[in-house]
Amino acid sequence: MYQNKNFRIGPYSVLTPAVKNLILANGIIYLMTILSAGAQQFFITNFALFPRDVFSEFKIWQLVSYMFLHDPSGIMHILFNVIFLWMFGSDLEREWGNREFLKYYFITGIGAGLINIIISSTTNAPTIGASGAIYGIMLAYALRYPEREIYLYFLIPVKIKYFMGFLILVSFFSTFGSSGDGIAHAAHLGGIVVGYAYLRYGFLLHKIKSGIGKNITNKYKFNPNMKFTKGGADKTEYYRRVMDQLLDKMNKVGYLNLSEDERDLLNESSQYLREHDEENYN
């Protein structure tokens, strides 16, 4: 579990649409594989990620389909993936929007698959699971909300930035070591690397649906140091303009190239608009 110091019970505590649909898709396919041996064999043979199938037979769909398959011999593989997707993906989707969240999810998942088959090209062992994409989501969450805490074993509070740093080290040394534990550590590392590259060089955050940043008059001059203590239309329009300009900058230089003040202002604007401009999230 994690502790979000700004979390509140209400409409934003429910599953977001993309996260919910991903969980449903994974759950339905998992049930099909455990209830029917024939379905299990069919899915693994045709939709798991086989390096030679992708390179030699051009079964490129496996770079996507493998993310929806999980170990049919136990529930822990899919359980941890869907829990982490819910824990870390929901806040990102609320801020980024459905399209950008799904775009990032599949880019990191496909990138994780590519790196995994490059590193594992000498074998043809199948890879299944959404863990590469989940690691990409966790990295984005750690960069976006580094001070938030998770509770290891539901007891020990650890800041997400430290927890993610530990996972990066484990993934790196396990990938290039000889762990032999049957876990696709290269896919985990691939999700992290591709996620960081996308966030660093090509992250295109959405415009908070279609309304924000449009039809704003020039009278609202952008001032990063300007803050309000009372509500009103002027404050809403100000934050819309601030959000629009910060997102434009992110489109060009990436989220990680924003200054600390700009990131704080982006978070402040996003939180205010979520609370006072909810029609943009319906």
Band of the pLDDT at 164, cuts 50, 70, 90? very high
Percent of residues, the chain, with pLDDT higher than 90:
38
Question: Which range has the top average pLDDT, 97-106, 149-158, 174-183, 265-274?
Answer: 97-106
Give the helix ranges, DSSP H, for the chain.
Answer: 17-35, 37-47, 51-56, 62-65, 76-96, 98-119, 131-144, 160-176, 185-197, 233-253, 260-276
Domain residue spans of the chain? 2-202, 210-282
The mean per-residue pLDDT over the stretch 80-100 comes to 90
Mean pLDDT, residues 234-259 taken together: 75
Residue with more model confidence, 208 or 176: 176
pLDDT at 6 over 90: no
> Can you name the CATH fold of 2-202?
Rhomboid-like fold (1.20.1540)
Task: Let me know: does 103 contact 216? Beta carbons within 8 Å.
Answer: no
Query: Closest Cα partner for 116 from 57, 175, 65?
Result: 175
Q: How far apart are CA 119 and CA 82, in angstroms?
A: 26
Per-residue pLDDT at 252 exceeds 80: no
Say whether pLDDT at 5 is over 50. no
Taking alpha carbons only, the member of 19, 49, 24 closest to residue 115 is 49
Helix (H, G, I), strand (E, B) or coil at 157: strand
The first and second tokens of residue 89, run together, are 């993906």
CA distance 227 to 15: 31
Integer Cα distance of 96 and 202 in angstroms? 14
Who wins on pLDDT, 11 or 258? Answer: 258
